[in-house]
Amino acid sequence: MALSRQAFHFIDNNTGWAAGSRGNILKTTNGGTSWDSLTSGTTIWFHSVYFADQNCGWVVGDYGAIYSTTDGGINWNTQTSGVSSTLYSICFIDENVGWVAGTGGTILKTTDKGISWFTQASGGTYYFLSVHFVDQNEGWIVGGGGIILNTINGGTNWNIQTSATNNGLYSVHFTDNYIGWAVGRNGTIIKTTNGGVTFVEEKEIDELPSSFTISNNYPNPFNPSTKIKYSIPQLSNVIIKISDILGNEIETLINEEKHTGTYEITWYAGNLPSGVYFYRLQAGDFVDTKKMVLMK
């Protein structure tokens, strides 16, 4: 059975579900080697699937549709969302507490496994495509136009974070309260290591360097983003950190092994105050620090 607009969710290396067009839901228990078709009882197009464990799961889709299962997907029951918006993403932190996001700025929350859903105020008619929470309090939503919202109180209040891009963002995921990624149109991949206060985007340039270098950022002064170019002539562990004028570390932009090449980082600092900042490259025995100015 072919699925279009597929949504996937795995709870371990073997067990996962896929949902898509015309109410189709599939399940695998062998890491995707084979898939079994499940009966949803609808022809609604599903856009997101999420399971809290092997039994409790949900799918969401067009016309405000939310379906739930308590037996791993054998049987599915309709839940009342109270909205007619297209729902594109669902995330639970346990079997009781979860959120849904969709078109028209729709954000819904449940604390009783989806038996009841209540609306949260997003502050606009945004086109939300992905929601992710790391605990009961902190979560992020991304969507069209590069919109990023963050909450630190379970969604009671949502705040716009200055995005690293105007490209639509399709998915967001955080490993903890600080480190996260968002991906979107035109190959966009952005990363934050401080919960979205700043973001970084990196690309490799087709140049073969002969020495370690880190260039002056441009533009400088900047608002809200600036580019930093650096070169690595040999395989090296690269660390690039940002600090303020008092020496306080703001963010680690890079901390990983890089092969020979020239790279360009775009640093988005729209959520930081104006001031002098420093960026420091350490690669092997090479160390260099340069100054930049954020001017709003």
What percent of the chain shows pLDDT beyond 90? 89
pTM summary value: 0.85
Q: Is residue 4's pLDDT more than 50? A: no
The model's pLDDT over 220-259, given as tens digits with 9 standing for 90+, comes to 999 999 999 999 999 999 999 999 999 999 999 999 999 9
CATH topology of domain 201-294: Immunoglobulin-like (2.60.40)
**CATH superfamily assigned to domain 7-198:** YVTN repeat-like/Quinoprotein amine dehydrogenase (2.130.10.10)
CA dist 279 and 173 (Å) reads 26
Average pLDDT on 127-138 reads 97
Mean of per-residue pLDDT scores for the chain: 94
- Which residues, including other chains, have CB under 8 Å from residue 82's CB and lie 6 or more apart? 64, 108, 117, 118, 119
Position of tokens 């037996």?
A: 71
> Sorting pLDDT into bands at 50, 70 and 90, what band is 3?
very low
Q: Is 43 left (phi over 0), alpha (psi -120 to 50) or beta?
A: alpha
Q: What is the pLDDT of residue 168?
A: 94
CA dist 49 and 174 (Å) reads 18
Q: What is the pLDDT of residue 2?
A: 44
The model's pLDDT over 69-113, given as tens digits with 9 standing for 90+, comes to 999 999 999 999 999 999 999 999 999 999 999 999 999 999 999
Average pLDDT on 23-51 reads 95
Report DSSP letters for 190-210, one per residue.
EEESSTTSSEEEEEEES---S
What percent of the chain shows pLDDT beyond 70? 98
The model's pLDDT over 145-190, given as tens digits with 9 standing for 90+, comes to 999 999 999 999 999 998 878 899 999 999 999 999 999 998 899 9
- Going from N- to C-terminal start, the domains of the chain cover 7-198, 201-294
Q: Is residue 219's pLDDT more than 70? A: yes
